[in-house]
Amino acid sequence: MCVCQTMEVGKYGKNATRSGDRGVLLEPFIHQVGGHSSMMRYDDHTVCKPLITREQRFYESLPPEMKEFTPEYKGVVSVCFEGDSDGYINLVAYPYVENEALEQDDMPERDQPRRKHSRRSLHRSSSGTEHKEEKPGLASDSSESSIQETKSPRVDLHIHSDVPFQMLDGNSGLSSEKISYNPWSLRCHKQQLSRMRSESKDRKLYKFLLLENVVHHFKLPCVLDLKMGTRQHGDDASEEKAARQMKKCEQSTSATLGVRVCGMQVYQLDTGHYLCRNKYYGRGLSIEGFRNALYQYLHNGIELRKDLFEPVLAKLRSLKAVLERQASYRFYSSSLLIIYDGKDSRAGMFVERRPEMCLKRVDSSLPESLQDGSSTEPGSSAQPKVDVRMIDFAHSTFKGFRDDPTVHDGPDMGYVFGLESLINIMEQMREENQ
């Protein structure tokens, strides 16, 4: 099915999975918590996503001071859509060869959003990103039924986490199913395979971006995906799409806070599971609901991770200062990832020593049973590792970029407003929980 099956990959990343001896077998990225198209694992340190030229060029022209807050851009690969002898579907990456792989956006950008299944729709969270058909009760039901036949066995057999994931439903109850990948990741992967298979007669190769896997440093990555800014549509959006996106903003905390929850996973020490939320949950939150979601993200099932306040706040303040200096830049429909490690040595010791007390101390400070002697543990007083990264630049622009006709003045104040809201809410939470 792939026209480049005789090519050989000359370079593999660490722990990349080879397909035959020809390419790298791509696997779903199990920690994807939000977005539209499927993020794929290339190797331990690298993920990939369908390439959109605007986003690629934006990564290539990033201001140096922004690079601390974005994934490292690692290049481009050609991706084949291949079937195996059992009839299952695989995605395999090969070295990119100019003019062989087709662009995801090989038609005028202004035309793409009007197509129900535009190639632009393969992008992870382009604001058009959230299409009309993506509605609670429709996206999960109709899409799941239409793509069951494309399920790859590698989703079940090769890609897994040692820690189960549980999705919280609309009533805040736990789903009964415990799976070994974030459910949003599998949903996106199935949808992408369905789209690619529907195009397989016309297209054999796709271009994918290679990007740093920003969670690879974390043993139990807790990830919060936030859609930033008060506006989500790009300058090239049709009137229909712009109106659709403005309505989503007006009906969510995007309008009131400049930020809304797009997805999250948080490790729970008391159960040993990740709890997951998706974008539909985030769209329906009030301001108080957003505060509660942030609290839940910082809570490990036993206690609030108060040690995270300062390092996260420091990162957010630093990012805000950087973006305030980026005149004419707009990051429409981009997201912000906040990441910390759910593996907390002190809390872990507490679970092992006094498991019967875990559920009684949800909102308490660190137990006395842990305070004595805990300072002798190596690294117990070290500040926890956190990360804050901007992602998704398919609708970003700045003065002189790609001859964009619309030029904006000053920094992206909608994005800055969202950062200010985050900072204020976290500062209030810190004060309330001292």
pLDDT at 137: 34
Tell me the pLDDT of the chain averaged across its residues.
Answer: 78
For residue 366, pLDDT over 60 is answered with no
Q: Is the pLDDT of residue 198 over 50?
A: yes
pTM here is: 0.78
Q: How many residues does the chain have?
A: 434
Q: Is residue 126 predicted with pLDDT exceeding 70?
A: no
The whole-angstrom separation of Cα 270 and Cα 267 is 9
Query: What residue ranges in 143-292 does DSSP mark as E strands?
Result: 165-167, 205-212, 221-228, 259-268, 273-277
Q: What pLDDT score was predicted for residue 373? A: 39
Q: Among the ranges 68-72, 87-91, 366-370, which has the highest mean pLDDT value?
A: 68-72
Per-residue confidence at 110, pLDDT binned at 50, 70, 90? very low
- State residue 383's pLDDT score: 87
Residue 305 has pLDDT above 90, yes or no: yes
Residues 317-330: what's their mean pLDDT? 98
What is the average pLDDT across 426-430?
98
308 in helix, strand or coil? helix
pLDDT the model gives residue 345: 60
The predicted structure's pLDDT at residue 381: 61
Between 375 and 90, name the one with better pLDDT. 90
Average pLDDT over residues 208-227: 97
pLDDT of residue 135 exceeding 90, the answer is: no
**Which pLDDT belongs to residue 2?**
57
Looking at per-residue pLDDT, the higher value among 104 and 75 belongs to 75
Which of 28-37, 93-102, 350-359 shows the highest mean pLDDT?
28-37
Highest mean pLDDT among 34-43, 105-114, 284-293: 284-293
Say what the pLDDT of residue 148 is: 39
Q: How confident is the model at residue 121 (pLDDT cuts 50, 70, 90)?
A: very low
Spatial separation of the C-alpha atoms in residues 284 and 348, rounded to whole Å: 34
- Residue 75: is its pLDDT beyond 90? yes
Most confident among 8-17, 235-244, 410-419 (mean pLDDT): 410-419
Which CB contacts under 8 angstroms, 24+ apart, belong to 311-315?
311/383, 311/384, 311/385, 311/386, 312/338, 312/340, 312/386, 312/388, 312/426, 313/423, 313/426, 313/427, 313/430, 315/386, 315/387, 315/388
Q: If DSSP codes are grouped into helix, strand and coil, which group holds residue 393?
A: coil
Tell me whether residue 379 is exposed, middle or buried, using C-beta atoms within 10 angstroms of its C-beta: 0 to 12, 13 to 18, 19 or more: exposed
Which pLDDT band holds residue 166 (cuts at 50, 70, 90)? confident
Tell me what pLDDT residue 103 has. 59
